[in-house]
Amino acid sequence: METINISLDKNQFIKIINNLEEKDKLEIYFELRKTLFLQRFNKLLQSAKTNELSLEEITKEVESVRKSRYEKGKQVS
């Protein structure tokens, strides 16, 4: 397969996309969605990083909440 390089501005690119068949548009859409999801997810992970809490502290808090909810559930019966 031979590769050709061309320069397009955004409007030219959109015009080409609009002329594609629905099947091809969907293929591009799903590829973009997959790529954008990974980028956005990685950005979210980076923004949520913190040195303030350790996994051990989170685990202790989760266990405490679970225990509290379990005991409340036993009292309702």
For residue 77, pLDDT over 60 is answered with no
Q: Where are the alpha helices (DSSP H) in the chain?
A: 10-18, 22-48, 55-76
Instruction: Classify residue 4: in a domain, yes or no.
Output: no
Find all residues with CB under 8 Å of 25, minimum gap 6, and list them: 17
Domain hosting residue 17, numbered range? 10-76
pTM, full prediction: 0.48
For 40, the token pair is 């956005």
Q: How many domains does the chain have?
A: 1
- Per-residue pLDDT band for 2 (boundaries 50, 70, 90) equals confident
The mean pLDDT of 39-67, rounded to a whole number, is 86
What average pLDDT is seen over the chain?
A: 88
Q: Which is more confident, 61 or 74?
A: 61
Tens digit of each residue's pLDDT (9 = 90 or more) over 15-50? 999 999 999 999 999 999 999 998 888 888 888 777
Residue 51: how many CB atoms within 10 A of its CB? 5
Instruction: Classify residue 31: in a domain, yes or no.
Output: yes
Instruction: Classify residue 5: in a domain, yes or no.
Output: no
Instruction: Classify residue 35: in a domain, yes or no.
Output: yes
